[in-house]
């Protein structure tokens, strides 16, 4: 099973099979989401910690999702900023190439979910444009 776990303002995607946990991805935590809090049972490998599991409600129904996996190289927007259709809002490096992520419409940025250096997967929420 795959889980998304929030620890210290980072989100870790982990896959657990037969007691083995594998880190799939990690990225900066999204600040404005609803979460369910669970406490992990202590094990010999790790001390007891409080984990926050992100529900499938995700960031926002209006969030613009990453079209590809990669690393955010630059965030050219901030909350409250107005953008025009076609403006470059983010740069994502994938396979040694910088890919421009453009605004799909005119609007105002109401939330930004990633920072420079954030690792993203295809479908990871990036920002909200209203």
Mean pLDDT of the chain: 75
* CA 76 from centre of chain: 17
State the CATH class of domain 63-129.
mainly beta
Residues 77 and 58 sit within 8 Å (Cβ to Cβ): no
Domain ranges of the chain: 2-54, 63-129
Task: Give the max Cα distance, the chain.
Answer: 53
**pLDDT tens over the chain, length 130 residues:** 777 777 766 777 777 777 676 766 666 655 444 344 444 544 444 443 333 223 333 456 688 999 999 999 999 999 999 999 999 999 999 988 999 999 999 999 999 999 999 999 999 999 999 8
Q: What is the pTM of this model?
A: 0.56
Give the span between the Cα atoms of 121 and 104, in whole angstroms.
Answer: 19
């Amino acid at each position: 099973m795959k889980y998304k776990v929030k620890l210290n303002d980072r989100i870790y995607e982990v896959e657990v099979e037969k007691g083995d946990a594998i880190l799939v991805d990690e990225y900066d935590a999204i600040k404005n989401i609803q979460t369910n809090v669970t406490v992990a049972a202590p094990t010999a490998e790790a001390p007891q910690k409080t984990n926050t599991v992100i529900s499938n409600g995700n960031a926002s129904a209006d969030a613009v999702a990453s079209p590809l996996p990669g690393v955010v190289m630059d965030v050219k927007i901030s909350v409250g900023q107005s953008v025009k259709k076609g403006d470059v809002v983010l740069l994502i490096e994938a396979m040694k190439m910088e890919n421009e992520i453009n605004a799909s419409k005119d609007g105002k940025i109401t939330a930004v979910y990633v920072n420079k250096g954030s690792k993203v997967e295809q479908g990871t929420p990036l920002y909200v444009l209203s």
